Structure 1
Amino acid sequence: MQSIHKAAVIGAGTMGAAIAAQFANAGVPVLLLDIVPNGAASRNALAEGAIAKMLKTDPAPFMSKHAARLVTPGNIEDDLPQLATCDWVVEAIIERLELKQALYRKIDAVRRPGTAVSSNTSTIPLAKLIEGMPESFQRDFMVTHFFNPPRYMRLLELVTSTTTDADLASKIADFSDLRLGKSVVKAKDSPGFIANRLGVFWLQTGVVEALDAALSVEESDALMGRPFGIPKTGIFGLIDLVGLDLMPHINASLAGALPPGDAFHASNRDLALITKMIAEGYTGRKGKGGFYRKGAKGREAINLVTGDYHPVQKSAAPNERDLRKLLTQSRYAWRVIGQTLAYAASLVPAAADDVHAIDEAMRLGYNWKFGPFELIDKLGADWLAEKLAADGFAVPALLAAAAGKSFYRLEGATRTYLGTDATYHPLPRPPGVLMLEDIKLATKPLLKNASAAVWDIGDGVLCFELTSKSNSWDQQNLELLAQTIELVPQNHKALVIYNEGQHFSVGANLGLALFAANIAAWSEIEKLIASGQTIFKKLKYASFPSVAAPFGMALGGGCEILLHSTAIQAHAEAYIGLVECGVGLVPAWGGCSELLARYAAAKAMPRGPMPAAAKVFELLSTATVSKSAANAKELLFLRETDGITMNRYRLLADAKAKVLALVEAHAPPEPPTYQLPGEEGRVGFAMAVRDFRKKGVATAYDEVVAGELATVLSGGEADIIDRPSEADILSLERAAFARLIRKDGTLARIETMLTTGKPLRN
């Protein structure tokens, strides 16, 4: 939707600046305005400083440094008239009602009628914000509550009033979905809206119950993390991430706005330990530390009783998969989860119209794997209600009304949710969204084994889905891909490679490779490498088009499948790279050959045998991974013609549309030939690595691995005047891989990566 051609954000603090960056990431020019600071050399100093800071921040608010050019810094005194050129103005200043309303009057004096104005507030009701404002302003005003950091958090809570122009609100929601990549959840104008209302209750309850039970922060976080599909930070780690100093302000704001009978008041008490920590600068990760800190001998955790720090005691997450049993065994887990789920049930319809909105808000706003009502279904509404009543907790009306039912159920192939009217309604999907999980409800796979499946997604398009652990590549899913390549031309016309896991693919299954190496099954390893090369090339030269749709990590073999697809439709947050050197190997499923061809053909690349090889050597030897899909285009992991989807929910539909558009004109590409630098280039690469080792940047084993990579990228024994073929480069890849997998240094790197998740610098 192109209805927002230019935007403005007023307030260049951490949140406002990052919202402006997300507009820029979407390709939309944006003004970033703030006050004129006293004595500053530049009247735009605050906005200019915010942009400069964001260019250095990690994780980066900008998807590409080029996006920063779309942000124009300014100030409120000089540049407010420019708002007349904007289609949407976002206010993100300090949470003080009188300051916001004073600013709104200035905005209203210069904006065009019909220009959307929204506040990013999370504490002040919309009704208060528009009190006393002209009707024309009230009609164009809403709350758009972004979550921090705006680039990475997919939730946007949209709050409107009875006076808000419904068409304008719909326009903002559509733009936020399609261009900003947000899942827009409509919230009521109630304190804290949805996610923070429930999330703050959960955090505060978790802290209070841990203090009352004299539990360690490590044990509390282990109990509150993965067993319930909650990020491993748990409660105390999350508060450290957000900032302890924010807790008293948020709690005070909620306490002042919520009615006297609200359950939040029972857990909202002044905590002397937290007051002391904040006073001493222990405000979390942004301060000297928080509940956790870096000590002289490693990570330390605070004792909630004494306030002293001690080395972190690893507290294993419970293995109990039966959540009822876990909640029966752990009083702490029960009191936190039980009260949180009960509170969630009390928020419908006070904070949201339905259970789906609350579940979506917690999944995307707090990164919960399951929403609270999905967790209730796992426990059973009857069981939860009985246990709450037995422990003296109030049972919310919605939970009582769900007796004998579940909040979600299947009706045929349609997911439905239980409404406040006691009937089931279809789970909403925005127009244009296609989800593989929905397709699976209605059909069976055409092909399937333990590591992959193939689905018919309509209009002659098949979808190849990886289902292995971390979507890693192994012999089974390679073989199913080969079968799929044979199947498509029979009754279909195109292929999409996609899944709905946490990451697209982390690469080859290193565990299997290490096992095979430990039993010296060299022939099996070589067979797997040759098989991957053959099958990926069959995909590349197929008679039908293919589109790969990466998201999250697409590493190693997960990157190589992209390089062999006809085209790519990537989610904006795709982190793509050939990282094999980090585990002591070289790309051997055609990654070297494909990237060499791309750089050799790049218009910006100088001609000759050395420039393309040198650039690829730099990328691969340093295991470079793109920081976004936009950055992947800069690194040539994506072509300029490849697509980028901002909203993760829309990726499959966009990939399908892209591959269908390729069908009519599709023809297999011509095999490339290469001009490579030969022995002279190989020696040059070796010298560069030797220099890096002398400087302490590269290790001894880096030099070994880089030497093998240099052999591949220079063309092996080929002379500079030779023109190696694609088959020649593939042969060099296989040989280099086979030599490296036999070395102890490589096996040590693989084992360390598997056990710690971190590279070994041997």
Structure 2
Amino acid sequence: MAIERVAVIGAGVMGAGIAAQIANAGLEVLLLDLVPEDAENRSIVAESALAKMLKEDPAPFMSKGAARRIQAGNIEDDLARLDACDWIIEAVIERLEVKQDLYTKIEKHRKPGSLVSSNTSTLPLARLMDGQPEGLRRDFLITHFFNPPRYMRLLEIVSGPDTRDEATQELMDFADRRLGKGVVVCKDTPGFVANRIGTFWIQAAVTEAIDRGLSVEEADAVMSKYLGFPKTGVFGLMDLVGIDLMPHVDRSLAENLPSDDPYHALRRDLPVVARMIQEGFTGRKGKGGFYRINRGDGGKVKEAVDLTTGKYAPVRKPILDSLSAAKAAGRKHAARTLVTHPDKGGAYAWAVLSKTLGYAASLVPQIASDIAAIDRAMTLGYNWKLGPFQLLDQIGAVPFVERLKAEKMTVPALLETAAGKEGFYREHDGALQQLLPDGVYQNLERPPGVVLLEDVKRRTERMAGNASASLWDVGDGVVCLEVHTKLNTIDQDVFAIIAKALEIVPKNHRALVIYNEASHFSAGANLGLALFAANTALWPMIEDLVVQGQKLYRKLKYAPFPVVAAPSGLALGGGCEICLAADAIEAHAETYMGLVEVGVGVIPGWGGCTELLARLAADRRRPKGPMPPVVEAFETIGTAKVAKSAFEARELGFLRDTDGITFNRDRLLAAAKARALVLAEGYRAPDPAELSLPGPNGMASLDFAVHDLALKGLVTPHDRTVVNELIGVLIGGPEADHTTPTPEARILDLEREAFMRLVRNEATLARMEHMLTTGKPLRN
């Protein structure tokens, strides 16, 4: 039975967020909650949750239109509507009797074969199903989402002994393909996988920091990027998720874990944390947490709490030799360097990791069948860059075990096994393998339909490449262009590989896909290179960079083979422009696309103005005539709008209706490749665009809009300079007239000329330098 309509019961933070993500995927959702006492509007709880989500940032919805797919109701009046739902998700309070009472009501109204699941994070499935009818037990699972459901990819699924295999497989496939989730199948054990290990890690990190006299800032600097943990560190992470949530998770684990579990030895009363919760310092949602912003005396000062006294003081940058050593060691050796350093930062890192990684190793196969599932749960659920076993491989299983023994600590059997082998993972015959508990290595199998570039790299040599970009053969006649600079910025070496692709693909391949597996597709042009050239007055070098970009992007657009761009994360400036030059875009749903050049004092110079105008003019949904595309392009480029999802990118005109959106990041390359192969059948390059542009007649209305913004104090002096140049490009130049089509070559010339005038402006150079130094735009 296909899942087409879903009900979510419980409109709290998690339930509402789950409903939003399902609506994002295009399904109709029924959201139910309690009826408040004496309420005139009996569905006010669910309706209020829906209204609140429309105002939240980061937004639970990928577009405003998704919210219209959710219907609000209440548990007393609307349970009969469950008979139209294929999947019913319970997300109510974590009390067994409340959940079981609700299941009795659900069972009276649901249709036969519909799936029922609980979003519980603490209650075992066996207890939830105790005494429940056989029909419900066959259709029941646990589906544990992580908050916020739109952005956190992990979904833990637990089946019971009576759960139908078909029900489990159907839900796994739906969550993977439609919701974009990384599904981890867990055993029915307390805390499942991510919270079982993650809570242990947090407890170890907090108690060791207190015992060893580390400051909040020092502990977070150690428990951060050099170990592959989130940049928030552990205390910053608690502020983010809510400090008051931790006692509930802790208590639940303590009540359900076996008495001999090592977690019990970590637990203790933490007076400073209890006092913070009591006084409302529960993290970012409260008055502050381990960190807070003090707005006294008319300023803003970031402060951190003293773990001994509970008093706040201005944040101080930690100075630890271990951190300097880890930085110097580089990414692959940072963890090993940090845990072996003799200073207090290194000792703290070892104290936490020796416990946490040892604990994780002791839980296989108790909580999940293999180490890859546990690593996946921690990377997707807690945003660790490396799972515990990947981290152990970086540190080295042999020295890790030797030190555990030297310190008379328990060595789990799996760790002993890994120390006598090649580690937890190895590459063998072009495949990645994982170590099983019995000491045998097994190929790491991807779900059907998943194609990852990291796997391609293991089994093939790159076709061409340099330090900035590479070409890979991904099969079936498709070549992949991968940019791999910092933030995947585009420089002359990237241009060289684009040129190489234009040479290679027509010879014996069918299509080109532009794709990478970094966090972000591309942050645009290499700003540092441009600033260096400008500061040394190398104007010919800058103009050559602009001309090269325009020519290569045009060659991609008019190549004798199809080009498909597959962005995910940031696709800004030149990264957006290379997408616009492609025949088609297959975007990950979490793609944040925009032409943001005005923020550094220039305008798009590699065809961004030209392509956006052409897309807006060709869009049948938009008003016709010479002015509407110009006005919309001006608003989008002139205010540096960035789409906050692929759906918003479509609304802004960056994506066409014919472009695709893929929810699961792991399926993006396969989707882009499939799209390229369809285009390759009988492919013919597009004809050059000709646009009806207003010329000087269109300048007045745009000038008026800028003047109005200036009166409101929203336009700085240099903003005015930049947008005047932008206006000149978008109207087609002084000689344009809407009765005579303007060729795209002319608009490209205007882009280049305007860019070169702006890049010579001192105010633009100040913006560039400020962006490189602070990461924020300068309002000059």
Mark yes or no: TM-score above 0.5.
yes
2:726 is the alignment partner of 1:709: yes
| Deviation readout 1:492-534 (Å, 9 max, x if unpaired) | 1111110111100110000100111111110000001000000
Question: Which residues in structure 2 correspond to 1:98-497 (within 5 Å)?
Answer: 98-296=97-295, 297-315=300-318, 317-320=323-326, 321=329, 322=333, 323-329=335-341, 330-405=346-421, 406-497=423-514
Distance in 2 of aligned mates of 1:602 and 1:39: 50
How far apart, CA to CA, are the structure 2 residues paired with 1:164 and 1:468?
A: 47
**CA distance in 1 between partners of 2:278 and 2:195 (Å):** 25
Q: State whether residues 718 and 724 of structure 1, in contact with CA within 8 Å, keep that contact through their aligned partners in structure 2.
A: no
- Listed one character per residue, the Cα deviations across residues 47-73 of structure 1 (whole Å, up to 9, x for unaligned) are 111111111111111111101111111
Aligned to 2:768: 750
Superposition deviation, residue 367 in structure 1: 0.7
Cα offsets for 1:333-386 (capped at 9, x unmatched): 111111111111011111111111110000100111111101111111121112
Q: Deviations over 1:397-428 (max 9, x none)?
A: 21122222200001110110000111001112
* 8 Å CA contact retained: 2:155, 2:182: yes
What amino acid is aligned across from residue 434 of structure 2 in structure 1?
Y
Residue type matched to 1:305 in 2? T
Write the deviation string for residues 665-684 of structure 1: whole angstroms up to 9, x where unpaired.
Answer: 32111111122222232343
**Structure 2 equivalent of residue 9 of structure 1:** 8
* Structure 2 residue identity aligned to 1:310: A
1:109–1:561 distance in 2 versus 1, CA, 3 Å: same
Residue by residue over 1:721-762, the C-alpha shift from the partner in whole angstroms, topping out at 9 and shown as x without a partner, is: 443211110000001110111111111111111111111111
Hey, what's the Cα distance between the residues in 2 that align with 1:540 and 1:396? Answer: 57
Partner of 1:582: 599
SS at match of 1:761: coil
Amino acid aligned to 2:737: I
Of residues 717, 727, 735, the one that matches 1:700 is 717
AA in 2 matched with 1:84: D
1:689 maps to what in 2?
A: 706
Distance change in 2, residues 1:318/1:80 (3 Å): farther
Please give the alpha-carbon distance, in whole angstroms, between the structure 1 residues aligned to 2:287 and 2:87.
Answer: 39
TM-fit CA distance, 1:687: 3.1
Deviations 1:185-212 (A, max 9, x none): 0111111000011001111111111111
Cα distance in 2, alignment partners of residues 174 and 224 from structure 1 = 35
Q: How far is 1:694 from its partner?
A: 2.2
Residue identity opposite 1:146 in structure 2 = F
1:564 to 554, 575, 581: 581
DSSP 3-state at the match of 1:569: strand
Residue 686 of structure 1 contacts residue 706 of structure 1 at CA under 8 Å; is this kept in 2? Answer: no
Distance in 2 between residues matched to 1:85 and 1:691, nearest whole Å:
52
Instruction: Give, in angstroms, the shift of residue 319 of structure 1.
Output: 4.2
Counterparts of 1:278 and 1:702 in 2: how far apart (Å)?
46
**Separation in structure 1 between the aligned mates of residue 767 and residue 203 of structure 2, nearest angstrom:** 42
Aligned match of 1:635: 652
1:534 aligns with: 551
Which residue does the alignment assign to 2:777?
759
Displacement, 1:393? 2.3
In 1: Cα distance, 2:324 partner to 2:628 partner? 53
- Cα offset for 1:693? 2.1
Preserved contact between residue 356 and residue 417 of structure 1 (Cα < 8 Å): yes
In 2: Cα distance, 1:624 partner to 1:642 partner: 20
CA distance in 1, matches of 2:337, 2:709: 55
The aligned amino acid for 1:67 is: A
**1:597 counterpart SS class:** helix
Q: Distance in 2 between matches of 1:489 and 1:324?
A: 46
RMSD between superposed Cα atoms in Å: 1.2
Tell me the distance in 2 between the aligned counterparts of 1:139 and 1:542.
55
CA contact (8 A) 1:547 1:568 kept: yes
**Amino acid corresponding to residue 324 of structure 1 in structure 2:** R
- Bigger shift: residues 155-164 or 303-312: 303-312
Distance in 2 of aligned mates of 1:319 and 1:737:
43
Tell me the SS of whatever aligns to 2:8. strand
Contact 1:609 1:720 in 2 (8 A): no
**CA contact 1:686–1:703 (8 Å) conserved in 2:** no
| Structure 1 Cα separation of the partners of residues 498 and 489 of structure 2 | 13
CA drift at 1:37 = 1.1
Contact (CA 8 Å) 2:325, 2:337: kept in 1 or not?
A: no
In the alignment, the residues of structure 2 paired with residue 366 and residue 754 of structure 1 have an alpha-carbon distance, to the nearest angstrom, of 29
Length-normalised TM-score, structure 2: 0.96
Range 750-759 or range 53-62, more displaced: 750-759
Once the two structures are superposed, residues 284-331 of structure 1 have per-residue CA deviations (whole angstroms, 9 ceiling, x without a partner) of 000000000111232111111121111111236544134333212211
In structure 1, distance between residues paired with 2:412 and 2:533: 56
TM-score, normalised with respect to structure 1:
0.98
Matches of 1:311 and 1:621 in 2, distance apart?
Answer: 38
Q: Aligned partners of 2:282 and 2:697: how far apart in 1?
A: 56
- 1: CA distance between counterparts of 2:260 and 2:404? 18
Give the counterpart letter for 2:529 in structure 1.
Answer: L
Q: Whole-Å Cα distance in 2 between the matches of residues 717 and 102 of structure 1?
A: 73
| Alignment check: 8 A CA contact 2:10 2:32 kept | yes
* Residues in 2 aligned to 1:282 and 1:553: alpha-carbon distance in whole angstroms: 33
Equivalent position amino acid for 2:648 in 1 = N
Structure 2 residue identity aligned to 1:45: I
Report if the CA contact (8 A) 2:23-2:70 is conserved: yes
1:469 shift after superposition: 1.3
Preserved CA contact (<8 Å) 2:736 2:742? no
2-side partners of 1:755 and 1:389: how far apart? 47
Structure 2 partner of 1:736: 754
For residues 408 and 698 of structure 2, the distance between their equivalents in structure 1, rounded to whole angstroms, comes to 76
Q: Secondary structure at the match of 1:77?
A: coil
Aligned AA (2:387):
G
Q: Which amino acid aligns with 2:126?
A: A
> Do 2:325 and 2:338's aligned partners in 1 also have CA atoms closer than 8 Å?
no
- The one-character-per-residue Cα deviations of 1:614-637 (angstroms, maximum 9, x if unpaired) are 110000011001110111111111
| Unpaired runs of at least 5, structure 2 | none
> 1:554 maps to which residue?
571
Say whether the 8 Å CA contact 1:218–1:314 is kept in structure 2.
yes
- In structure 1, C-alpha distance between the alignment counterparts of 2:106 and 2:504, rounded to whole Å: 60
Structure 1: unaligned runs, 5 residues or longer: none
**Mapped contact 2:216–2:304 kept (Cα < 8 A):** yes
Residues in 2 aligned to 1:28 and 1:190: alpha-carbon distance in whole angstroms = 31
Post-superposition CA distance 1:600-624 (Å, at most 9, x none): 1222332222211111000001100
Q: What is the aligned residue count? A: 761
